[in-house]
Structures are given as structure tokens and as C-alpha cells.
Amino acid sequence: MDLQATIRTRRKALKISQEDLAQMAEVGLATVKDIERGKSNPSLATITRLLEVLGLEIKYVERDTE
């Protein structure tokens, strides 16, 4: 599952509106909407704030770049 689907699915499971999520994470409503639509490339800080509100954490995966 990609980031946008994860955020949208978790938000809906918790019965949190986009507006409430934006307020709780201290980000703009447009940011939440754009992320959920896949129209945004949010900063790590923004992603972290959203995931913390949703009770999720970032899993680090190291990729081989060679």
C-alpha cells in the first residue's frame, strides 16, 4: 500500500476528517487533500506529523542504489 492510501485508509478507520487531521498535525488542509490524491510530494516532517497523529510510524527500508 502506498503512502497516500495508507494515510487515507487509516484516517477513515479512525473516523477523522481531513480537516481534523490537518489541524491535529498542524499542516494545511490542502496538504492533506493533495497527499491523499497523490498530488503532493510532502516533506519528511509533514509525513511524520501526519503518521504520528494516525498512530503509525515510518519504516525505513534501505535500497541498493548500485
Nearest to 31 by CA among 52, 50, 58: 50
Nine cell digits for residue 59: 519504516
DSSP the chain: --HHHHHHHHHHHTT--HHHHHHHHT--HHHHHHHHHT-----HHHHHHHHHHTT--PPP------
Predicted TM-score of the model (pTM): 0.84
Domains and CATH numbers, the chain: 3-53 (1.10.260.40)
- Chain Cα centroid distance, residue 6: 7
- Give per-residue pLDDT as tens, 9-62: 999 999 999 999 999 999 999 999 999 999 988 999 999 999 999 999 887 655
The reported pLDDT for the residue numbered 66 is 58
